[in-house]
Structure 1
């Protein structure tokens, strides 16, 4: 009802202003897109004669506007309390509505006015002005004429930054906060502690600064590459409490709330290195030098652990006024707890059924303490395990299940799904991309995400508070790389969080994004600019033939391509229709705009063998996030070692058992499959891979078997078969099952990863 009232008031005000406009102008390149906007050919010039008229309660907001103007022109404008001829007006009008953060912006040739119900709305209006203006001389800014009525779709709009894996300076953090403000993000989630480093000064525990904040060296390359290589350089750092106060104040001036995250009970190796008595084994421990999940966590059986964490939280809460205090709660192995006398005694004393319930006890105890201080606990969706603490808010990162579970218990949820909103994933499948965590999250996938549609049950929608993007820093070892991975996905997420649900024009968004490139460059944002690169779709797979299509978001460009692996040039065939492939081919393509090549060369290989496009059935479908139709195993596309292209099928707690029907009895001489073997991702080769043949689909005989998979990475198994005539081929890969003691993820289920099946 509040939003309906606000919309009615805003539209009425906007229509009144619109009636006064005489000349319309094209849409401005604003991100996020406002609720309602019209543009005119009027221009307001910010000059030496401009003054800022502001309410007394908006002095800080006026100072922010002045600071932005100073950055652009070197000039500081005077504040006044009476109107003048050329002025910028900031005004609070509580009659607009009680709905937070909305604003009205009017720009004419004589006046710029921002009216809002609250100061946060004033700042959002100022950020819109920043996107509307452009310099006409070094000392003069021109602001495009506009009438805008705007307010946010979601109350919570967040962005996360991990500084534990790689440390970022205070200057960078401030710059990042300015970027969040530009796109109307109102929560900065600061991930301050993890296995690889503790980044916040806690005066009561000085070893957190002298020991936990540092690691001896850092992994080079991806953690899946073995043997692991390291740089041999000690690295780390931490923020002093004075620096944190400065950052919090800087964010507050932009009406951005800073949420601190102190990880517990897992991801605690750095803290345990400084204070080993807090662990179950009592150490010694070592701050992690590579990425992953580690068995050593805070001991849940000793009260000294909770005393330590309460002391830490006391100092944290004194620094951060945020209502939310994030305690992580994710990826906590229970291995140490299962063998810890103190933890087992706690389970007995509290009448808990198992270690999962012990984690719930841990979270509830911390939640009660945070609540006693007038704050609220927030954590990743693992805090649901064993029962959710009363009043806790859940960040649902592993999909929608955690969100649905929490909402059904009437807990608020912030949608943070890994597949759509983790900005440490690759932005493209081009091999030139620098190493990233994994996954593939292109810009259009971020822009297309809608948490309300994902939730499904409309009764749960009131509990979805908003969305948040995540920037985990394992592979963000420079500020340039951090910005490259975050932008332009952050603006896409911001538009989904702010703009009305019906705003879904990706092409329009990319055009506005391109128009903002000068602004991003001026703000020294090293954004990725490859979102218009070429991609492909495998449209159909039939026996011995593939049909593919090429596409790009660049509407004014042409695609030139080859299928023989040669480099395309200005004379190569122009892509118009789908491409048919009936033999092994490497398609390469290049974008051309105004006759000149732009961007990078696209490349994708396609293999055709007897199994390609054949009918295939699985006894049990892939049951992990690496799922999909069985046709992926015979579609002519081999998955890569980044396992982010959607080609792998993953099986947990079950074997691969597939049958391929070649259609007719045929002579074969070779069978094979691709097997992914990355123990650091809990991906294990099968204990055996066997091929059997049959002419009738009932009686099978052995064709070939292999039991060893020596390659750390993709094992391309190709086995010779004494000439046989078969129609049906059965492929069985036996899952390793439980991961052995001493291995990464010991005690958990291994993941069997299989891709292209080969028959020649």
Structure 2
């Protein structure tokens, strides 16, 4: 019987607490396992873990799987549960091997006196143990000893298997280096979520992270860069060749062996990525002879675009070097797949390089795209000769795909569709759903991220199989993967924040049968998982609780309607206006809030009649210019029009997301506009709302000036603010306020001077969201 039918069944189990007379009733809604099992049948009775519970094991694999739960009980309860080789009569966990079950599948049967786990191999055992962990009280995850816990689970029968074989997470350790201990911690948590692949992005322009004994300069030089961590990623200068490089690190081959062995003990395969032909400036800095120009370059400290310092495809020495590197890599990683990147290669140097032109002539190649195809195909033949499979980003399709290659589709699903149509295996990892460097809540409330918006509810919607795929194409979909690029992720704490709980949503999307997936049901189970995260000291994001607003403006009436929501479909949101206190008397939100005068909305999620989580607070200022005519003396850029004619005086403020539709922008040009107040009006201050985000070249104006006029022709300056350029790595919203003695005026002219050029010579933007007249 299907799980969604079983959820309606009113089965229940009465168990008694060991230290009270209270009764707890279990129903299937209390079984909050993530990812959701394929089938679950609740039965009468229960199994109780005690200090006398034992694990009946017959081999080392069973012993290894048992140890995970033994360790949990030792930490959380202080019990030292035993393993035995002779079957007891009661109060034990036993294992059975079955050849009639899938590789990672398991069957879990809980009865009064015995728990039986049936599987074919280690991963099945492991996942059954992880399910047992989630059936137990959340305190099983405690890092310290707890008391008065009744370690009881209901009798049930679970039959479970993954929908997809590739369930992965990519960690970018190149842009920012993470220590071995954090990698192992992440492996533990992947296994907890029944994920089986860790993809390590070991090489990029900003750092080479793996020891290669034949080429020691790859880590001596390529693993370190000049420390510019105080500057925005895309605003860092190009270091001089002799500048001291201090930021970085790398994994020794012994570190890699330890990581791989640890991952194997948790059922996780580690897939190495050695980028080629681009994203390799760190390698070119170490060995310039493998580039076309053979010119010494520094390891970049931050963003680099376009990527022109790439491997020379014309030199035999390049391929000898890469084959030598891959031989050492493959000796360390037993993974079936070897990732070679293959993305974002700017082939400018190939077009003029004598070696590359000769290669194209000799191989009868018509373009540099075909030269890249030659490059990848040649590496694929080498990797295949070693019994491995080449996998790369979807750019490896350009110019023709190597026969045995697998494609990782990141630029949407197009690459996956094309590759699967050609009969190639694919791993789907589209940026829309799987890029964990995107924001997962409102930018104003979140730590710095790359951009985009991929909340946990959107990740949950992900399906690796595209609706337009044929049945034959769908067979080539290995699964899916999340990618956490680390340009802006500098610490372990931040990394955790970006991964959890989105990895839980992805785990269910890749594991559970599609018909059984339901966001309402998943979100109800997510709260239980949050408690487990807290016990595990995981810095998970609570962004799903964050209240957001959607505002509609009625220009003719000068009124606004504010809708409140968070990601949870059944949420108790309450609000107050202005100075009222957010307490049990707060108004329950049921429909959009109508506002027609200056007001502050404060709102919160409530649980047990108390506010929880971050408080939403937003002020809507009905200032003297609201709804008035704006004359643009210098027009805004067509790419950022905001709400056009009404944008500067529509009450609604912009957020740190400059794509939110509330910003107008000027590229290189200054801002110059005039507001017509319709009649002479007393004014005493003008505020100009701006943003600075130096990464995408958005800078504060270097000067803001306000001028007043009675006739719209003759203007007098009433104030000016000069603000010289300052380097800034953060996104900041700032109001430039110019106050003055109260004067009568009908026309207000506001000027904002553009910086014009960045430190690196690029064009700069100024962004303005509202001009407030008081």
Q: Does 2:107 align with 1:104?
A: yes
Cα distance in 1, alignment partners of residues 461 and 519 from structure 2: 8
Cα distance in 2, alignment partners of residues 357 and 195 from structure 1: 23
SS at match of 2:390: strand
Given the superposition, is the C-alpha separation of residues 565 and 468 from structure 1 closer, same or farther in structure 2, using an over 3 Å criterion? farther
Correspondence for 1:174: 184
Contact 1:54-1:91 within 8 A present in 2 as well: no
Q: Does 2:246 align with 1:234?
A: yes
Given the superposition, is the C-alpha separation of residues 127 and 196 from structure 1 closer, same or farther in structure 2, using an over 3 Å criterion? same
Correspondence for 1:699: none
Correspondence for 1:552: 566
Q: Does 2:366 align with 1:353?
A: yes
Contact 1:220-1:229 within 8 A present in 2 as well: no
Contact 2:443-2:657 within 8 A present in 1 as well: no
Correspondence for 2:163: 153
Q: Deviations for 1:283-321, whole angstroms, at most 9, x for unmatched residues? A: 321112113443322222222111111111011111111
Given the superposition, is the C-alpha separation of residues 81 and 752 from structure 1 closer, same or farther in structure 2, using an over 3 Å criterion? farther
Q: Deviations for 1:72-114, whole angstroms, at most 9, x for unmatched residues? A: 3152522315453222111111134xx3312110112211111
**What aligned pairs does 1:710-749 form with structure 2 within 5 A after superposition?**
none
Cα distance in 2, alignment partners of residues 180 and 757 from structure 1: 45
Correspondence for 1:70: 71
Cα distance in 1, alignment partners of residues 149 and 333 from structure 2: 38
Q: Does 2:273 align with 1:261?
A: yes
Given the superposition, is the C-alpha separation of residues 71 and 101 from structure 1 closer, same or farther in structure 2, using an over 3 Å criterion? same
Q: Does 2:202 align with 1:202?
A: no
Cα distance in 1, alignment partners of residues 445 and 533 from structure 2: 23
Q: Does 2:261 align with 1:245?
A: no
Structure 2: runs of 5 or more not aligned: 15-24, 141-145, 631-636, 668-677, 682-687, 701-723, 737-744, 748-755
Deviation at 1:603, TM superposition (A): 3.9
Correspondence for 1:295: 308
Q: Deviations for 1:597-653, whole angstroms, at most 9, x for unmatched residues? A: 321122456689888999xxxxxx999xx999999989875544443647679999x
Given the superposition, is the C-alpha separation of residues 374 and 47 from structure 1 closer, same or farther in structure 2, using an over 3 Å criterion? same
Cα distance in 2, alignment partners of residues 622 and 461 from structure 1: 41
Q: Does 2:127 align with 1:124?
A: yes
Deviation at 1:325, TM superposition (A): 0.5
Contact 2:285-2:296 within 8 A present in 1 as well: yes
354-363 or 271-280, larger mean C-alpha shift: 354-363
Alignment RMSD = 4.8
Given the superposition, is the C-alpha separation of residues 398 and 272 from structure 1 closer, same or farther in structure 2, using an over 3 Å criterion? same
Given the superposition, is the C-alpha separation of residues 568 and 110 from structure 1 closer, same or farther in structure 2, using an over 3 Å criterion? closer
**What aligned pairs does 1:261-660 form with structure 2 within 5 A after superposition?**
261-293=273-305, 294-429=307-442, 431-453=444-466, 460-538=473-551, 543=556, 544-553=558-567, 555=570, 557-562=572-577, 573-581=587-595, 587-604=601-618, 637=652, 639-643=654-658, 645=660
Cα distance in 1, alignment partners of residues 543 and 612 from structure 2: 10
Correspondence for 2:721: none
Deviation at 1:751, TM superposition (A): 12
Contact 2:313-2:375 within 8 A present in 1 as well: yes
Correspondence for 1:663: none
Cα distance in 1, alignment partners of residues 680 and 432 from structure 2: 40
Given the superposition, is the C-alpha separation of residues 115 and 611 from structure 1 closer, same or farther in structure 2, using an over 3 Å criterion? farther
Deviation at 1:556, TM superposition (A): 5.6
Correspondence for 2:706: none
Deviation at 1:205, TM superposition (A): 0.8
Contact 1:331-1:382 within 8 A present in 2 as well: yes
Cα distance in 2, alignment partners of residues 570 and 759 from structure 1: 34
Q: Deviations for 1:660-694, whole angstroms, at most 9, x for unmatched residues? A: xxxxxx9999xxx9999978548999xxxxxxxxx
Deviation at 1:169, TM superposition (A): 1.9
Cα distance in 2, alignment partners of residues 629 and 402 from structure 1: 36
Deviation at 1:487, TM superposition (A): 0.5
Structure 1: runs of 5 or more not aligned: 1-6, 615-620, 653-665, 686-709, 725-735, 745-749
Cα distance in 1, alignment partners of residues 152 and 71 from structure 2: 14
SS at match of 1:480: helix
Residue from 78, 92, 95 that aligns with 2:97? 92
Cα distance in 2, alignment partners of residues 627 and 453 from structure 1: 34
Deviation at 1:226, TM superposition (A): 7.9
Cα distance in 2, alignment partners of residues 209 and 532 from structure 1: 43
Given the superposition, is the C-alpha separation of residues 550 and 233 from structure 1 closer, same or farther in structure 2, using an over 3 Å criterion? farther
Contact 1:197-1:215 within 8 A present in 2 as well: yes
Cα distance in 2, alignment partners of residues 552 and 374 from structure 1: 49
Aligned residues between the structures: 690
Residue from 20, 24, 27 that aligns with 1:25? 27
Q: Deviations for 1:548-601, whole angstroms, at most 9, x for unmatched residues? A: 311135646332143x69986666544332123456766442333334332112
Correspondence for 1:79: 84
Deviation at 1:354, TM superposition (A): 2.5
Given the superposition, is the C-alpha separation of residues 78 and 330 from structure 1 closer, same or farther in structure 2, using an over 3 Å criterion? same
Cα distance in 1, alignment partners of residues 628 and 472 from structure 2: 45
Cα distance in 2, alignment partners of residues 607 and 350 from structure 1: 68
Given the superposition, is the C-alpha separation of residues 20 and 595 from structure 1 closer, same or farther in structure 2, using an over 3 Å criterion? closer
Q: Does 2:49 align with 1:37?
A: no
TM-score normalised to structure 2 length: 0.76
Q: Deviations for 1:314-344, whole angstroms, at most 9, x for unmatched residues? A: 1111111111100111222223323433223
Contact 2:11-2:42 within 8 A present in 1 as well: no
Given the superposition, is the C-alpha separation of residues 588 and 19 from structure 1 closer, same or farther in structure 2, using an over 3 Å criterion? closer
Correspondence for 1:730: none
Contact 2:653-2:770 within 8 A present in 1 as well: no
Contact 2:233-2:487 within 8 A present in 1 as well: no
Contact 1:541-1:612 within 8 A present in 2 as well: no
Correspondence for 1:662: none
Contact 1:611-1:759 within 8 A present in 2 as well: no
